[in-house]
Amino acid sequence: MELPPHILEQAMSSSFDRPRRRRVAGPWFTVVAAAALAAAACDGESTKLSAVYYDTYASGEPDEAFRLFNGLPDPADLAGWKVTDGEGLAVFPSGATLAPKQLVWVAKSAVSFASEFGYPPDWELQESDPAVPNLASSGTFTLANAGDELTLQDATGTAVDTVVFEDGVVPASGWTGAALDPYDNGGLGIEGQILYRKLDELTGLPVPDTDTAEDWAQSRTDPVDGRKVQFPGWDLEHFFFPKKAVEPAELIVGVAPDSIYASVVAEIERATTTLDVAIYTLTSAALTDALVERAQAGVAVRILLEGEPAGGIDDQELWAAEQIEAAGGEVWFLFNDSALGVHDRYDYHHAKYMIVDGGRLLVASENFGGSGMPDDDKSDGTVGNRGAYVITTSPGMIERATDIFARDLDPVNHRDVTRWSPTDPTYGPPPIGFVPDRTTGGSAYPVAFPAPLAMSGTFSFEMVQSPDTALRNKDAMLGLVARAGAGHTIEVEQLYEQVHWGPTASNVTDDPNPRLEAYIAAARRGAAVRILLDGHYDAPWEPRSNVATCSYVNGIAAAESLNLACRRASPAGSGIHNKMVLADLGTQAWIHVGSINGSENSCKNNRELAIQVQSPDAHAYLRTVFDADWAGGGA
């Protein structure tokens, strides 16, 4: 029996101790990163090692690399400076300088590095690209996968900075305490992982250097700014700060399954020039028809899909891709093929958004499929997932979404992007004679919210995305919840919110879920907090089921007499697929809507997208939905 897409997504977004898939790299955009970093100062810092890429994807590790950062307000003269791993030595030539706040990569082979990162490094150790300057090197400069030490020395040979990782020898000059280990506690993967220094949430600059593992993002003592991973192809520095805007815009807020299909079709049909769609899966025959019609009308239709969804590519999705391509559109997949040396950047491309004519943006919790967006006649009821969506004309949010789409759908610089082809055995036509299934919906759920809320005005917006900004406690979702206190309310409606992260057999002390702990902390500050999780596809016997989460939350509420409660429900017939947080902070009311689930993998390893909007009317509308769903839920 084929598992429903709803539960497949739950398996996909969780980190159920499965090995992390391999990825391919894309551009790091160091010039952009350096410009962003230059906006802030870091007085008293010197030139440091800021990243190490050692257990790499390429066989034999010719793409090994390290990165330097100048934390001084003045240029750094690197002439005669050296980097050594104890067996080999790399020396910077006369005239080598590092601008203030600049980042530079030094790779063993520029060609191999570019193959993974999508652009050449600033320097190389072995001649492979005439356009990339060489550092003089001696000995055997090879970073051991099992662990090593890397030291930056000034022109006098004095150690300026050191990083010791895995089985590297400690103590070492410039390093104290235990060695730094890559973070793989929840099955996030070691191969291809880039060790990098923590970045301060307010400045975007590396945190002050203490010469310990605590300075690095992979350290395990901090569940928010630590316990992080990074892989080639991510644009972490470029997207480090969430996009924020206060501007006039149109705003539409609605829910699935009640009004989402009609709203999405209306947005598709209004496209006259371009239509960019980034989603996890596309299996709706009716939405495919709408996309085909726009492509035939001359609209430039581009679809970006996950190439390896949980359970595999559906024949209906291959059919949809074939129809869109035949009409003149483009369908692309983010994929992974280790035999070809192709490793995808994100564990899953799980975002769900659409940009219409460069002037309208849809952000949703639902995939383009029958359970998320049933196309049946709603007059006699329907059946589908409970979800939510936002449509806006906010220029700031459209600008950020367009930037994300352009960087993710970039086959020139990223090898993990492949287009549907009639001859491709994986991303090609469905079986001969395939007939699409056009059955969706039902009648068990009497539609309660048939009309979305439409308004216009000046709103505060914030865009949040994984893996870049989903875990920040100064802003984004955690920062929003952190503002809640006495007299405020927090409502959470999620597919799931895992009771803890890390391995399945771990616990809330060793591997807390910072999202769940943030909700509980808000209740401890006096806020009224309700958490509503899916009860339809939940597997109560699993250690991290929604049953386990509610038991944990309700146990704390009873023990500490908190205004805090957790329930499970299935309000619209096929479970809660929502990823929604509502925050009433007294003088402000915010909504958070998007694709980010409550797992470590979703927050740290997937491409996800969510939008936050300050609007009392939008909050009131979605809270009415939440109240109705809560009333029908059980413990």
Kindly report the average pLDDT of the chain as a whole number.
92
Average pLDDT over residues 121-135: 95
pLDDT at 43: 35
Q: Which of 11-25, 29-43, 214-228, 330-344 has the lowest mean pLDDT?
A: 29-43
Strand order in the sheet with 65-70: 123-126, 103-109, 65-70, 47-53, 194-196
Based on DSSP, count helices (H) and strands (E) in the chain, helices before strands: 12, 28
Average pLDDT over residues 606-613: 98
pTM for the whole structure = 0.93
pLDDT at 36: 35
Whether residue 219 contacts residue 179, with contact meaning beta carbons closer than 8 Å, is answered with no
Paired with 88 in beta bridges are 139
- Radius of gyration in angstroms for the set of CA atoms belonging to the chain, rounded to a whole number: 25
Whether residue 141 contacts residue 161, with contact meaning beta carbons closer than 8 Å, is answered with no
pLDDT at 19: 37
pLDDT at 634: 73
pLDDT at 404: 98
CA dihedral 9, 12, 16, 19 (to 10 degrees): 170
The domain 243-419 having CATH identifier 3.40.640.10: the answer here is: no
What six digits make up the tokens of 348?
């899953």
CA pair distance 519, 113, nearest whole angstrom:
42
CA pair distance 573, 98, nearest whole angstrom:
60
CA pair distance 483, 288, nearest whole angstrom:
42
* 560-591 pLDDT, tens digit each: 999 999 999 999 999 999 999 999 999 999 99
pLDDT surpasses 60 at 284 = yes
What six digits make up the tokens of 531?
């958490």
- What DSSP element (H or E) covers 306? strand 300-306
Helices (H), 493-535: 514-524
Q: Which of 24-33, 58-67, 155-164 has the lowest mean pLDDT?
A: 24-33
pLDDT at 146: 95
What six digits make up the tokens of 552?
């944990």
Average pLDDT over residues 456-473: 97
Whether residue 162 contacts residue 66, with contact meaning beta carbons closer than 8 Å, is answered with no
Superfamily of domain 460-631: Endonuclease Chain A (3.30.870.10)
pLDDT at 31: 34
Q: Band the pLDDT of 30: cuts 50, 70, 90.
A: very low
In the chain, ranges of CATH 2.60.40.1260 domains:
27-215
- What DSSP element (H or E) covers 327? none
Average pLDDT over residues 255-276: 98
pLDDT at 172: 81
Nearest residue to 346 (alpha-carbon basis) of 333, 359, 329, 356? 333
Specify burial of residue 613 (Cβ count, 10 A radius: 0-12, 13-18, 19+). buried
CA pair distance 284, 323, nearest whole angstrom:
12
CA pair distance 304, 414, nearest whole angstrom:
14
pLDDT at 17: 36
Which of 46-50, 207-211, 494-498 reaches the highest mean pLDDT? 494-498
CA pair distance 618, 495, nearest whole angstrom:
21
pLDDT at 635: 63
pLDDT surpasses 60 at 335 = yes
What six digits make up the tokens of 264?
């999405």
CA pair distance 521, 515, nearest whole angstrom:
10
* 516-533 pLDDT, tens digit each: 999 999 999 999 999 999
CA pair distance 607, 465, nearest whole angstrom:
7
Give whole-number Cα distances, 106 to 18, 59, 117, 136, 505, in Å.
Answer: 33, 19, 12, 12, 40
Average pLDDT over residues 400-408: 98
What six digits make up the tokens of 525?
């500050």
Phi first, then psi: what are they for 628, rounded to 5°?
Answer: -65, -40
Query: What is the b/e burial string over 20-37, where b = at least 16 CB atoms within 10 angstroms of the residue's CB?
Result: bbbbbbbbbbbeebbebb
CB atoms within 10 A of CB 620: 14
Average pLDDT over residues 476-501: 98
pLDDT at 11: 55
Average pLDDT over residues 249-255: 98
Q: Band the pLDDT of 118: cuts 50, 70, 90.
A: confident
CB atoms within 10 A of CB 248: 11
Question: For residue 150, what are the contacts with CB-CB under 8 A and spacing of at least 6?
Answer: 49, 52, 66, 83, 84, 85, 143, 162, 163, 164, 165
In the chain, ranges of CATH 3.30.870.10 domains:
243-419, 460-631
Phi first, then psi: what are they for 266, rounded to 5°?
Answer: -60, -40
pLDDT surpasses 90 at 299 = yes
Q: Band the pLDDT of 28: cuts 50, 70, 90.
A: very low
Strand, coil or helix: what is 294? helix
pLDDT at 630: 98
pLDDT at 633: 81
HSE-up of residue 106 (Cα within 13 Å, Cβ side): 25
Residue owning tokens 């993998």: 601
Give whole-number Cα distances, 81 to 72, 102, 173, in Å.
Answer: 16, 16, 16
What six digits make up the tokens of 166?
């895995």
Whether residue 505 contacts residue 601, with contact meaning beta carbons closer than 8 Å, is answered with no
* 492-517 pLDDT, tens digit each: 999 999 999 999 999 999 999 999 99
Question: For residue 210, what are the contacts with CB-CB under 8 A and spacing of at least 6?
Answer: none
Q: Band the pLDDT of 21: cuts 50, 70, 90.
A: very low
What six digits make up the tokens of 303?
């679809």
Q: Report which residue type is found at 540.
A: P
Q: Band the pLDDT of 8: cuts 50, 70, 90.
A: low
pLDDT surpasses 50 at 367 = yes
Fold of 27-215: Immunoglobulin-like (2.60.40)
CA pair distance 569, 575, nearest whole angstrom:
7
pLDDT at 38: 37
Give whole-number Cα distances, 347 to 15, 44, 187, 405, 560, in Å.
Answer: 10, 38, 11, 17, 38
* 212-235 pLDDT, tens digit each: 999 999 999 999 999 999 999 999
